[in-house]
Structure 1
Amino acid sequence: MITVLFVDDEPMLLELSKRYLETTGKFRVDTATSAQAALGKLEVSPYDAVVSDYQLPGMDGITFLTVLRSRYPDLPFLFFTGRGREEVVIGAFEKGADCFVQKGGAPKPQFTELMHKIEQAVRHRAAERELRESEQRYHAFFATTKDSVFITSDDSRWIDFNDAAIQLFGYDTRDELAAMHISDLYLVPEERQVHLDYIRGHGHSREYPVRLRRKDGTPIIALVSTVSVTDPAGGTIYYGTVRDITEKSRQDSLIRENEELFRNIVEDQTEFVCRFLPDGTHVFVNEAYCRYFGKTRDEITGHRFIPAIHPEDREQLRDHLAGLTPENPVASIEHRIIMPDGSIRWQHWSDRAIMDDQGRVREYQSVGRDITEKKETDRALRQAHQKLNMLSSITRHDIMNKLLTLRGYTRLIQEEAQDLEIRTYADAIDHAARAIDEQLQFTRDYQDLGMQAPAWIRVADILDQVKGQLELGRIRLETGLDGVMVCADPLFSRAWYNLIDNTLRHAPQATGIRVTAEEAGDTLLLVYEDDGPGIPADQKERIFDRGFGKNTGLGLFIVREILAITGMTIRENGVVGSGARFEITVPGGMYRKDAGKS
């Protein structure tokens, strides 16, 4: 609640203002009829904002503002006055007023505007104060720590650093160090990429040993602690510290350890690792790369070596490399190559363009692997799935025809047989036939479960789609999803269809369904609630078992199966008598928010 000190020499206006503001429940209003009285109250009680008339007895509004600013520089101050001359307005803002609202017109819109301006001013002043305090803490830490502190971008550019970093690297000025590409500060520039790959794999590095160099070329043995953070634009920013541990007694040992670490990381990988210039000249390849292409290291390094790219993939590869920019220096591609024996192999490559100061590509660093078996397996699976679907469709069609005939004759027996025992047998046959029919419908609806790649799906859109498929009748469906999107199987919509259908079937007295989203740590909770009778405690887990229930027994079972494909879980956590409550937990990385959508 916002506490406001309202200052005006008209008691009736003060009472009216107090009534309007406090009626909303957002404000608590105290009043004063003069600037002197207001200053006295400010000495006794804290307020979130001051609203004052310009024309006051003894001390006018501008003078009041001047005194207030000298004592309370961060307190929001708004003029609410009938004096709207240009010089008054200009004077108010020059003295530090946050807003100027002119009296006049209908009371309701006038006070609505005033309340909006108060809230806006309070938020703005609070944000300014928080920013200032944060900057003070930030600069204090930067200035006092003995370690070099840095903030860098994903393309190896400085964002910020402290004076200790300038001293560490031996540069004369901040601008001189800021102009350096960070990779060039490594004794071996390639080790910068190895370091970044480690951070990306672990999310951080703690006292990671690196070899750096000063401006004069002197080696620096250092421990770097770094954490990677995603900025609002989706880019990666690195925060960290550098501690100089250069000691002659340890230097040789640390260099040998780092060289061995670098060599092991690169040489022991089964992936192909290479670095090459824009003209195709290779400057580095690992052993796996040489084995794959059947060449020695000397045959490749220092020479233009371009594998035989499949003709249909050449343009795609050219566009891929041309698309690497300082803003987007990393990308992946899959393409085919023609081996020396004429066989065609599939490869997957992750390529990084290393740029110079002008943003031109200096070289490429690439990590690849052979994915031919995966491609062939995927193709075989697709073919098998297509054949199985075709066989299933034909078989299901034939069985449905037979079932139709069977149920038709069973219906005749039920209607015409005089013998009660025979009709009982016919009822049993019809019940079994209906169960078979439901199972066939199930196989038709869910034969593609898990066969397609998960996709990003906006939950609100799915609910709109399902709402159009079901007759909700008396039930009102409300959502509070704030643009939530999840990575899910394409049958995700069926899960929501079954949940709503479950309410329609088992909660005939329900009148409302609500679906909301809330973050819980690094996971997202999608909550489905209805106002039906709820689910007994001894059934909360059994309802997800296959075959449980009065109908097919497959509805909630298949909901859990669909969600499990992308690591989601579901449980029922409602209270009997208050309605069902299904909680779907979406793991981190499998959800996001689309701004502006609900």
Structure 2
Amino acid sequence: MQVIPEKWENNPLYGAFFISILSALILLPYWWLAVQWSATLIHDSPTRFAFTSTTFLLVLAIIDSAFLIRYYQIRQKNQLASAILEIHKGAENYRLLIENAPFPITITKLDDNTILVMNKRAVELFSVDPSERIGNPVSFQFIGPDDQKRINEILASKNHVSGYEITFLKETGDRVYISLSADIIDYMGEKAVFAAFVDISERVALEQEIIRREEKFSVVFHEVPNPLMILSENDTIIDVNHGFEQFFHMRKEDLISLSILEVNFLTDLALKKRPREFEDQNTWEYEASLPNGEKKFVMLHYRTIQYGESLHTLLLIQDIDAIKRGQNALTQANNQLLILNSVTRHDILNRVMAVISYCELLRHSIQKEPDITWLNNIEKAGDDIQTLIEFTRQYQDLGIHPPVWQRIDRIMKKKEIQTFLTNISVSLPDESYEVYADPMFGKVLYNLIENSIRHGEKVTQIALSYEKRNSDLILRYTDNGTGIADEDKSKIFTKGFGKNTGLGLFLIREILSLTGISITEHGIHGTGVIFDMLIPAGSYRISATNKDQSYI
């Protein structure tokens, strides 16, 4: 870059010296003229004096003009040099600003698209060698001829382009999407195009992924055989699938944009009409009324989804009419069987009571063996029948009702269990797990505690705890009683084995097996029992304490 000398006005020493010399050169002729005038006035005639004075004035004027012209020439030259210096400084700052900009920038000629400037970001974006590109027109590889023509048309009409999106392939095969903004500027004395680029490849990829997912959702939505409906926040019907049209015998065109409250047979499906007991749930059973007056049992599933730019509700209607009616028929049959069992049990107990009563009467008239032994056996058989019948009454509901989520700590607080625990220390688990088991799961814990007290002899401590084993959960029951002999461990869950009815542990195993839970015993004889109940994944969960009403 050319070095411009400093202006003399900016240096006080140079300025004072120059003014002194200039003043001296200007005043010296006047001093000399004054001396000459005085001499000529005294010694010469007036005509000669006038001629001499005029000559000196002309000479003086010429000399002064020459000095003033030279002064202004030097001053203008210094101003021009200062302006050139400022222009060079501005151009350098402009170049640095472009070069260090955080986004790609190019400057091209307006008339032929010749590249004049490319900053580092532009070189990285287009993956080119700047020495090969600068001075050459913009390659059609990056901006196609149609796009170049369109950009020039916009610049010609508006002098500005904003957010014009283009795409190109790098030599690596990667496709790049960019957004271009451009303005017409004066650059080095000619019209040029200042263009800035933003890499929008990630945004475009995200938009394409959203489109693909929406297309996939649309395909699934319309191909699923179950009735599906999309509702807005104010319960306006946005869309329904073919399964919905078939189930309700309605056309989509007749439903779209209607409020669900305006369709008589759909009013009860509105979220605001959800039953109070299901307000915090996304699934519940419902008896739907069809347009033809038919009623069907359905399972309603509600879920919030992002549909377009807004949140909507997706409603799936699962037809469970056949299942529900089958369950109702089965429940009715079970109820009838329960009534029959109850009547039969009552009749058997009456007959057994008659047998035992006649045994008591016969005991007064029989005094010799083996009649007494036979009578005792008959009476004992009657007592056993009574015990078994009572036992079947307690377990008549096994497997009749669907499984429910249950918490150990709440079961252990029940009155029928607490009456067993006098003078016994009980330790409960710290974790708040729920177990998915038959409603008679409480009977499992009841029988385990009863066995500990009945057969453990010296039980003073009972503990329940959880242990994770891979994806499964172990519910462990222990006591400090006498335990179970090694030779009996493989038999204790067999029907009829034991000192009492022989059905307690057998029924424990049956109750647990209804939901896939297994039980084993591996305690040490003399130190207490250790029962491990293996709860498979899916049959346990962390307790949600804000929904106490759904627990047992």
TM-score range, shorter chain: 0.5 to 0.7
Question: Any unmatched runs of 5+ in structure 1?
Answer: 1-214, 223-242
Residue aligning to 2:464: 515
Within 2, Cα distance between the matches of 1:340 and 1:421?
80
8 Å contact kept, 1:354–1:363: yes
Does 2:308 match 1:352? no
Give 1:308's aligned residue: 264
Select which of 205, 220, 223 maps to 1:265: 220
SS in 2 for 1:542: coil
CA–CA distance in 2 between the matches of 1:218 and 1:402? Answer: 96
Of residues 572-581 and 363-372 in structure 1, the stretch that sits farther from structure 2 once superposed is 363-372
The equivalences for 1:270-289 within 5 A come to: 270-278=225-233, 281-289=236-244
* 2:283 equivalent among 332, 336, 340: 332
Could you say which structure has the higher helix fraction? 2
How many angstroms apart in 2 are the aligned matches of 1:569 and 1:492? 13
Q: Is the 8 A contact 1:541 1:571 kept in 2?
A: no
Match 1:460 to one of 399, 409, 417: 409
The alignment status of 1:364 with 2:313, answered yes or no, reads yes
Q: For the residues of structure 2 that align with 1:506 and 1:321, how far apart are their CA atoms?
A: 50
Question: Which has the greater radius of gyration?
Answer: 2
1:114-125 alignment, distance < 5 Å: none
User: Which residue of the partner structure matches residue 426 of structure 2?
Assistant: 478
Give me the TM-score of the superposition, normalised by structure 1.
Answer: 0.50
In the TM superposition, residue 407 of structure 1 has moved relative to its aligned partner by 1.3
What does residue 535 of structure 1 align with? 484
Q: Quote the Cα distance in structure 2 between the aligned partners of 1:391 and 1:217.
A: 80
Q: Distance in 2 between matches of 1:545 and 1:307?
A: 60
Post-superposition shift, 1:341? 2.0
Structure 1 residues 372 and 308: CA distance shift in structure 2, 3 A: farther
Of 333, 337, 353, the match for 1:384: 333
Verify: 1:293 aligned to 2:248, yes or no.
yes
Q: Cα offset for 1:479?
A: 0.7
Partner secondary structure for residue 430 of structure 1: helix
Closer, same or farther in 2 for the Cα pair 1:339/1:595, shift >3 Å?
Answer: closer
Inter-partner Cα distance in structure 1 for 2:384 and 2:464:
32
- Give, as a single letter, the amino acid of the residue that structure 1 aligns with 2:223: D
Residue aligned with 1:349, SS: strand
CA distance in 2, matches of 1:477, 1:344: 55
Q: Secondary structure at the match of 1:548?
A: coil
Cα deviation, 1:399-437, whole Å, max 9, x if unaligned, reads 112111111222343454223122222233223222322
Say whether residues 1:573 and 2:529 are aligned partners: no
- Identity level (%): 29
1:556 CA displacement: 0.6
Deviation at 1:292, TM superposition (A): 1.2
Show CA shifts across 1:415-471 (max 9, x none). 542231222222332232223222211221011123334344332332343675645
Distance in 1 of aligned mates of 2:325 and 2:389: 31
2:408/2:434 contact within 8 Å kept = yes
Aligned CA distance change for structure 1 residues 217 and 279 (closer, same or farther; 3 Å): farther
CA distance in 1, matches of 2:407, 2:530: 21
Aligned length: 350
TM-score by length of 2: 0.54
Whether the aligned pair in 1 keeps the contact of 2:236 and 2:259 (CA below 8 Å) is: yes
- What SS does structure 2 have at the residue aligned with 1:309? helix
Residue of structure 1 aligned with 2:508, choices 555, 559, 564? 559
Separation in structure 2 between the aligned mates of residue 578 and residue 404 of structure 1, nearest angstrom? 42
Partners of 2:482 and 2:372 lie apart in 1 by: 37
CA distance in 1: counterparts of 2:326 and 2:250, whole angstroms: 28
**Of 289-298 and 347-356, the range deviating more from structure 2:** 347-356
Q: Distance in 2 between matches of 1:297 and 1:348?
A: 21
CA–CA separation in structure 2 for the residues paired with 1:497 and 1:323: 31
Q: Which residue, out of 342, 348, 372, partners 2:293?
A: 342
- Distance in 2, matches of 1:430 and 1:324, equals 55
Amino acid at match of 2:424: R
User: Is 1:351–1:365's contact at 8 Å kept on the other side of the alignment?
Assistant: yes
Matching of residues 74-93 of structure 1 within 5 Å: none
Moved more, 553-562 or 286-295: 286-295
- Two-structure CA RMSD over aligned residues (Å): 4.3
Q: What corresponds to 2:369 in structure 1? A: 420
Could you report, residue by residue, the CA deviation over 1:150-209 in whole angstroms, capped at 9, with x for unpaired residues? xxxxxxxxxxxxxxxxxxxxxxxxxxxxxxxxxxxxxxxxxxxxxxxxxxxxxxxxxxxx
For residues 501 and 279 of structure 1, what CA distance do their matches in structure 2 show?
A: 57
